[in-house]
Structure 1
Amino acid sequence: MNKNNILVSIFSNWMNLALTVVVAFFVSPILVNKLGDETYGIWVLIISITGYFTLLDFGVNTAIVRYISKYNATKEHSKAVETYSSSFALFSVMSATVIIITAVFAFNFKDLFEIQAFSKRYLFAVFFIVGADLALNLIFSVFMGTLKGLQRFLELNIFSMLTSLIKNAILVYLLYNEYSLLALATLHICANIVQFVLQYILIKTKFSFLKFSFASINKKTLKRLYNYSIYSFLIGVSMQVLYFTDSIVIGSLINVSQVTYYAIPGMIVEYLEKFVWAIIAVLIPIISSQEATGSNEKNKTLYITGTRYSILLISPVIFVLYLAGDDFIGMWMGDRYSGPSGEILRILLTGYLFLLSQLIAHGILKGISKHKVLALLLCGEAVLNLGLSVILAPILGIKGVAIGTIIPLILVNAILIPYFTCKELKIRYITYFYKGLIQPLTILIVPLCIFQTFDFTIDSYIELVTFSTLVALCFFLFSLFFMLENIHKTAVFLIFNRVTRRDLKL
């Protein structure tokens, strides 16, 4: 994959994410206010519970990306077909299991959370459709994993953006016409089916060698997928606990309506994570290809500079959200959410800063098949997160759940993951810690501490955009002159010179 294709893939990922953020910006307040706190909280609970069912992919999807990219790089098309076909067979069995589990949970959902707003039959239908959607996602995730392994991020993002625009336009129409959860669930499953069809057409037309074949399903391939996937599965279990347990703890131990106050800041930090993953996802198949061709030295450099640049990239966003996040939430969702959700956002940002800096480590360890240690660390984080949240929720409410989340988040991502990644890549930990973490964190923390002493508020979107632009410009200029590697600094100046010359000619 050449540099132009890498940039196109990253840019298309960002465009997809930007569209998702813009759509969420306009649609989320409509969704929350039209459904109401309790109904929206029920929707979040259903998504959180059914999210655990995706664990039945056992991490195989990451193995698909790994081996499709590897066999495509080495031109071993027969092995790629074996991976493709065996994955389909495995996911077909898992999807049937999801349907059975979904039916059981759907039948008992109303009683588990003592929901009075809807009938048992209605909630069963909503829950079952969402579960069926996930079952289809399991089977046809083979398409997405294959296309990622083949580095077709541009097409994947185009499909995603088109379906997202159509889906959300219909969603707004449904909400304004007083449709509720059943319509939402049906819309989601239909939109996903459209994406699956588009992905299948792309594979069939561009990669004709990839065809499902019963003859290509074999134990050797399934074992290879299992050996790689077992630790990806543990990572998946951990991530599901980390992402979805907070809402379930709040719904069970506090109140369903309080889920909304936590879900809003949770949505914001989730988009921040997706922003960084938009880069990392492109790099994973490249990392695998580099390992397959013996270019592991590049991965060492990638870890240090990748951590550094990840922090520099998200620093202005975290700076603005930490200082003005509560004002933004108030303007976006309504004044009643500003105080409680703003406080939760600041707590979560403290921990997510370190998580976002280590997503590059996740990508590298997965790419070189050294993700066992990552799986074990994330399992430990998930257990500690759940334990602390359950203990603190009755005492401190949703604030306690947030604190229970960030304590293990900081421990694992600020200390343990960097240490073990450096060990795998044979990098001096002190060197990495200073260059990758301390230097970029300093330019965020110092001005943040200074601005914390000032009392200011943001009263309009114009003020927010102006403040955000000034912050981004200051961080960019400082990073350009003092934090970028010389080779990257030179590249930026070359691009600037080319652009200015074109403008002068015009």
Structure 2
Amino acid sequence: MKSQLKGGAILSYLGLFINSAISLVYIPIMLQVLGKEEYGLYILATSVVGFLAVLNFGLGNALIRYSAKYRASKDYEGCYNLYGMCFLIYSILGVLAFGIGMILINNIDTLFSLSLSENELKKIKILMMIMIIGVSAEITFGIFNVIVLAHEKFIFQKALVIITSLLNPILVLPLLLLGYNTISMAVVTTSLSFFTIVINMYFSLKIIKVRFNFKKFDRTLFKEILTFSVYIFLNLIIDKIYWSTDQLILGVYSGTAAIAIYTIGTAFTGYFLGFSSAISNLFLTRVTTIVVNGKVGDELSNLFIKVGRIQYIIISFVLCGFIVLGEEFISLWVGEKYENSYLIALLILIPLVSSLIQGIGGTILQAKNMHKFKSMVFLSIAIMNVVLSLIFVQFWGAVGAALATGIAFTLGNTIVMNVYYWKKIKIDIPRFWKNILMMSMPMIISVILINKLNSFYTVNSWGMLIVKILVFSMFYISLMWYVALNNEEKALVSKPVIKLISKPFNNRNDFKVDN
């Protein structure tokens, strides 16, 4: 079990690195071969069909939970009844997804007639049909992927994800270079979905050797699963509304080129979210222990500030680097035609910082069973984002959509949630922001000085950009070390380094004297 967890964790980070590397290489080639309009059309189709994916209803979490319960009590017959019932539910949801997808295709002309040409409308229908088949199949047979996770076969599951991630560009790039378009991309992606389904099905039936019992339908268990899944389903909907609606609105009012520009700008959001969540998850046990023992107030505030400072050290470094060098990076990466992508990224990332450095707040709310308020806030800002985007897009296009997202996030996740943490959870929010403000001095100084450097040396090659990144990194890290970090934070960095350096010497026996 420990080896599965450790291997799965290593492969998770490896997969994150591989996906990031693939994006850096893959996206510029796609843009160059396809052009903004064709690429934007593909993203629009993906965004529309992506809403169907929420129809898995979040059943996977419930299936894992109840599967573990039955297996712990060695009630294998109950486990097989659970699998049979969930397979029927997944199948119904898959058919439902396909039916809704067909309704969407039949109404595409009405939705996007203002911004898409007749040829684009025809092509997006083909793209959506291919993608809908894939999504419907993924929902219908998604139970096999969940079974693999429920049996804690993390190494196999993560390895399969990495393999499919690598296969996608390996298969698509030759087709693009031979002159094929986005339809070939959709066919490859859907084919890989079926490949994953077949592999998971084989692994579940032949290696894990699970069985499905369709004879008994437990109504009580069915109600429990639905009750458990409703909250997860709500979060899936909120997430889709917040992060995917802007592309649809741009598709209605601004066209496919605006979608491409917006997508490049928002591509950096995922990296920032990954940096934050990786740290927050490490403190889940600590937070739960504090809450269970009733030790709130100063102890919870101290932990909130401690974790927030550590997150800010990393987030501010990445954000500061992007502020001073992001525009040049995007120009080298995808071309000067995407200059607005830099502004779009800043409008979303800067308001996002507050949420990222307070990621442990969500963990605290879960430990205190008070997370419903945050869900309601997120639902409110998701709706606000849609309303503001509908207005702003008509004036400022893709930049307007990003501005709406930034405003909604600032009002909901920064202002409302900080007041809630302060007044309801009794976390010392004023002291938190005082700490963050003091730590921001190296960031402000670095931005000013590196921008001054930018005025003298314009980047026109990757080599020059790498030199600037190194200069910025050394300057920023030095300032942060001597100005902002406390002794405990310095120890977090220095102790592992000292241990790594001293380890080879500790293992040597060269200086031992034989008797």
TM-score by length of 1: 0.83
Displacement of 1:256 in angstroms is 2.5
Unaligned runs of 5+ in 1: none
Equivalent residue number for residue 106 of structure 2: 107
Equivalent residue number for residue 192 of structure 2: 191
d(CA) in 2 for partners of 1:465, 1:231: 45
Amino acid at match of 1:15: L
Equivalent residue number for residue 326 of structure 2: 325
Aligned length: 499
Amino acid at match of 2:54: L
Question: Aligned to 2:242, what secondary structure does the other structure show?
Answer: helix
Question: Aligned to 2:459, what secondary structure does the other structure show?
Answer: coil
Q: Which has the higher contact order (CA 8 A, sep 6+)?
A: 1
Question: Aligned to 1:38, what secondary structure does the other structure show?
Answer: helix
1:489 and 2:491 are equivalent in the alignment: yes
1:226-253 deviation line (CA, Å, top 9, x unaligned): 2232222222222111111111112212
Displacement of 1:455 in angstroms is 4.0
Amino acid at match of 1:345: A
Equivalent residue number for residue 56 of structure 1: 55
- Between stretches 4-13 and 237-246, larger displacement belongs to 4-13
Contact 2:31-2:39 within 8 A present in 1 as well:
yes
d(CA) in 2 for partners of 1:246, 1:317: 25
Displacement of 1:42 in angstroms is 1.1
Displacement of 1:384 in angstroms is 0.8
Contact 1:242-1:385 within 8 A present in 2 as well:
yes
Equivalent residue number for residue 124 of structure 1: 125
Specify whether residues 497 and 30 from structure 1 end up closer, same or farther in structure 2 by C-alpha distance, changes over 3 A only.
Answer: same
Of the two, which has the highest radius of gyration?
Answer: 2
d(CA) in 1 for partners of 2:124, 2:197: 26
Equivalent residue number for residue 344 of structure 1: 344
Equivalent residue number for residue 259 of structure 1: 259
Specify whether residues 476 and 71 from structure 1 end up closer, same or farther in structure 2 by C-alpha distance, changes over 3 A only.
Answer: farther
Equivalent residue number for residue 400 of structure 1: 400
1:12-43 deviation line (CA, Å, top 9, x unaligned): 22211111111111111111121122111111
Contact 1:287-1:364 within 8 A present in 2 as well:
no
Displacement of 1:405 in angstroms is 0.5
d(CA) in 2 for partners of 1:223, 1:331: 54
- Between stretches 158-167 and 223-232, larger displacement belongs to 223-232
1:169-202 deviation line (CA, Å, top 9, x unaligned): 1110110111112211111111122223333455
Amino acid at match of 1:230: V
Unaligned runs of 5+ in 2: 509-515
1:79-128 deviation line (CA, Å, top 9, x unaligned): 76666554433222111111011112223324532333637665433211
Amino acid at match of 2:409: L
Question: Aligned to 2:21, what secondary structure does the other structure show?
Answer: helix
Contact 2:450-2:472 within 8 A present in 1 as well:
no
1:448-481 deviation line (CA, Å, top 9, x unaligned): 4564566444332223333334545566667778
Amino acid at match of 1:178: G
Contact 1:324-1:458 within 8 A present in 2 as well:
no
1:321-379 deviation line (CA, Å, top 9, x unaligned): 11111111111111221x22222122222122233334444466568765422221111
Contact 2:288-2:367 within 8 A present in 1 as well:
no
Equivalent residue number for residue 38 of structure 2: 39
Question: Aligned to 1:397, what secondary structure does the other structure show?
Answer: helix
d(CA) in 1 for partners of 2:370, 2:66: 14
**Alignment map for 1:429-448 (pairs within 5 Å):** 429-430=428-429, 433-434=432-433, 444=443, 447-448=446-447
d(CA) in 1 for partners of 2:51, 2:265: 21
d(CA) in 2 for partners of 1:9, 1:105: 38
Equivalent residue number for residue 466 of structure 2: 465
Equivalent residue number for residue 241 of structure 2: 241
Specify whether residues 107 and 405 from structure 1 end up closer, same or farther in structure 2 by C-alpha distance, changes over 3 A only.
Answer: same
Amino acid at match of 2:135: L
Contact 2:317-2:476 within 8 A present in 1 as well:
yes
Equivalent residue number for residue 268 of structure 1: 268
Question: Aligned to 1:96, what secondary structure does the other structure show?
Answer: helix
d(CA) in 1 for partners of 2:430, 2:72: 33
Contact 1:242-1:382 within 8 A present in 2 as well:
yes
- Between stretches 23-32 and 294-303, larger displacement belongs to 294-303
Amino acid at match of 2:391: I
Contact 1:422-1:429 within 8 A present in 2 as well:
yes
1:395-446 deviation line (CA, Å, top 9, x unaligned): 222222111110111222223345556788x552437835985566565456
Task: Please report the RMSD computed on the Cα atoms of aligned residues, expressed in angstroms.
Answer: 4.0
d(CA) in 2 for partners of 1:205, 1:74: 23
Equivalent residue number for residue 168 of structure 1: 169
Specify whether residues 248 and 503 from structure 1 end up closer, same or farther in structure 2 by C-alpha distance, changes over 3 A only.
Answer: farther
Contact 1:12-1:154 within 8 A present in 2 as well:
yes
d(CA) in 1 for partners of 2:118, 2:136: 27
Equivalent residue number for residue 314 of structure 2: 313
d(CA) in 2 for partners of 1:439, 1:216: 62
Contact 1:67-1:149 within 8 A present in 2 as well:
no
What percentage of aligned pairs have identical amino acids? 20
Equivalent residue number for residue 334 of structure 1: 335
Contact 1:17-1:275 within 8 A present in 2 as well:
no
TM-score by length of 2: 0.82
d(CA) in 2 for partners of 1:42, 1:330: 22
Specify whether residues 433 and 235 from structure 1 end up closer, same or farther in structure 2 by C-alpha distance, changes over 3 A only.
Answer: farther
1:257-315 deviation line (CA, Å, top 9, x unaligned): 211111111122233324544666x769x769978x96897996876554443333332
Specify whether residues 154 and 400 from structure 1 end up closer, same or farther in structure 2 by C-alpha distance, changes over 3 A only.
Answer: same
Equivalent residue number for residue 385 of structure 2: 385
Equivalent residue number for residue 23 of structure 2: 24
Amino acid at match of 1:357: I
Contact 1:288-1:367 within 8 A present in 2 as well:
no
Contact 1:480-1:489 within 8 A present in 2 as well:
no
d(CA) in 1 for partners of 2:151, 2:481: 33
Specify whether residues 65 and 290 from structure 1 end up closer, same or farther in structure 2 by C-alpha distance, changes over 3 A only.
Answer: farther
1:30-81 deviation line (CA, Å, top 9, x unaligned): 1112112211111111111111112222333344455556777888877766
Question: Aligned to 2:256, what secondary structure does the other structure show?
Answer: coil
Specify whether residues 18 and 363 from structure 1 end up closer, same or farther in structure 2 by C-alpha distance, changes over 3 A only.
Answer: farther
Contact 1:316-1:468 within 8 A present in 2 as well:
no
Specify whether residues 480 and 92 from structure 1 end up closer, same or farther in structure 2 by C-alpha distance, changes over 3 A only.
Answer: farther
Question: Aligned to 2:119, what secondary structure does the other structure show?
Answer: coil
d(CA) in 2 for partners of 1:55, 1:480: 44
Specify whether residues 275 and 487 from structure 1 end up closer, same or farther in structure 2 by C-alpha distance, changes over 3 A only.
Answer: closer
Specify whether residues 476 and 390 from structure 1 end up closer, same or farther in structure 2 by C-alpha distance, changes over 3 A only.
Answer: same
Contact 1:238-1:382 within 8 A present in 2 as well:
yes
Contact 1:129-1:186 within 8 A present in 2 as well:
yes
1:501 and 2:503 are equivalent in the alignment: yes
Contact 1:171-1:184 within 8 A present in 2 as well:
yes
